[in-house]
Amino acid sequence: MKRWLIALLAMPVIAAANERVVVIGGDVTEIAFALGSGDQLVARDSTSLHPEAATKLPDVGYLRQLNAEGILAMRPTLVLASAQAKPSLALEQVASSNVKVVTIPASNSLDAIDEKIDAVAQAMGKTAQGDALRKQVHSKLASIPEKPLPVKVLFIMSHGGMTAMAAGQETAADAAIHAAGLQNAMQGFKRYQPMSQEGVIASQPQLVLVTADGVKTLGGEDNVWKLPGLAQTPAGKSRQLLVVDDMALLGFGLQTPDAILALRKKAEQLP
């Protein structure tokens, strides 16, 4: 009788520990691992490449192109989906199959990191670990100088063979540059737009950001300066280039504070 009672009391704890979780979104996956829930994850989306252990999980597809059956096939009890996950129909279908779907906020701001950790920790029942992680992130964020620095930064996105694009307003890159207390050199347009030679020269960037993938597709750091107009800019003349990990800088996840701090340090060291 006594043993039964203990078993009964232990039930909810065991149930929480036996949760089978599908994580969708690179930032969500990272946080789930950081909270120590890695062993409860059964699948991830194709943008979840960090940490290394995540890549060993089955891949249910790109986060904007999900399909309900693929997710359900992993027999999850909980789906943690970034707010960017699409189509919503797929997630609705998952939810209507008695799987709990929790949407993790995904706005491009430093505050969002806090919200994301909180949401994941709540869903996984790891609020204590969540608080610790948030403290850690807060202390990292506090080390980023808040004083604005009048440095103009140009973010270039370049993917396999397509024209290089510059980040305008309302992009994650724009938010990251501002979070570092710097200025986006490209003003007056939204989203990512193809770079024009004159536009680049007129924007007068003092520092150029390129993603690691971008450098690879361009064929080396030297080729970055061969992009239209770039050689004629202040950044081009003194070759001020920072290669960034796009998931770290633009994902607004756990690696973002470090990436933004690195950006700030680089800007402060400019001649």
Partner 1 sequence: MIRRPLPQRALLAMILALLVLSLVAANLGAMRLSIAVLWQAQDEALRHIWLNIRLPRVLLATLVGGALALSGCVMQGLFRNPLADPGLLGISSGAALAVGFSVVLPIALPAVLALYVPMLAAFVGSLAVTLVIFFLSRQGNNSLSRLLLVGIAINALCGAAVGVLSWISNDAQLRQLSLWGMGSLGQAQWSTLLATASFILPASLAIAFLSRRLNLLQLGDEEAHYLGVDVKKTQWQLLILSALLVAAAVAVSGVIGFVGLVVPHLVRMWLGADHRWLIPGSVLAGAMLLLVADTLARTLVAPAEMPVGLLTSLLGGPWFLAMIFRTRRETDG
Question: CB of 85 within 8 A of CB of 91?
Answer: yes
- Nearer Cβ to partner 1, position 61 or 199? 61
Among 98, 146, 188, 220, binds partner 1 (CB under 8 A): 98
159 in contact with partner 1 (CB under 8 A): no
| Residue 116 Cα distances to 27, 35, 181, 212, 269, angstroms | 8, 12, 22, 25, 32
- Nearer Cβ to partner 1, position 67 or 129? 67
Among 10, 128, 139, 191, binds partner 1 (CB under 8 A): 191
235 in contact with partner 1 (CB under 8 A): no
163 in contact with partner 1 (CB under 8 A): no
89 in contact with partner 1 (CB under 8 A): yes
78 in contact with partner 1 (CB under 8 A): no
Cβ at position 24, least distance to partner 1 in Å: 12
60 in contact with partner 1 (CB under 8 A): yes
242 bridge partner residues: 209
Among 21, 23, 41, 71, binds partner 1 (CB under 8 A): 71
143 in contact with partner 1 (CB under 8 A): no
As a whole number of angstroms, the distance between CA 208 and CA 121 comes to 36
79 in contact with partner 1 (CB under 8 A): no
Question: CB of 20 within 8 A of CB of 98?
Answer: no
For partner 1, which stretch binds (CB under 8 A), given 31-39, 82-90, 160-168, 247-255? 82-90
157 bridge partner residues: 165
In what side-by-side order are the strands of the sheet with 78-82? 41-44, 21-24, 78-82, 100-104
CA 244, 235, 266, 177 torsion-angle sign: negative
Among 32, 90, 177, 248, binds partner 1 (CB under 8 A): 90
58 in contact with partner 1 (CB under 8 A): yes
Among 16, 19, 38, 70, binds partner 1 (CB under 8 A): 70
Find the binding residues for partner 1 in span 28-47 (CB under 8 A).
Answer: 43, 46
73 in contact with partner 1 (CB under 8 A): yes
Q: Which residues bind partner 1 (CB under 8 A)?
A: 43, 46, 58-62, 64-65, 67-74, 86-87, 89-90, 93, 96-98, 191
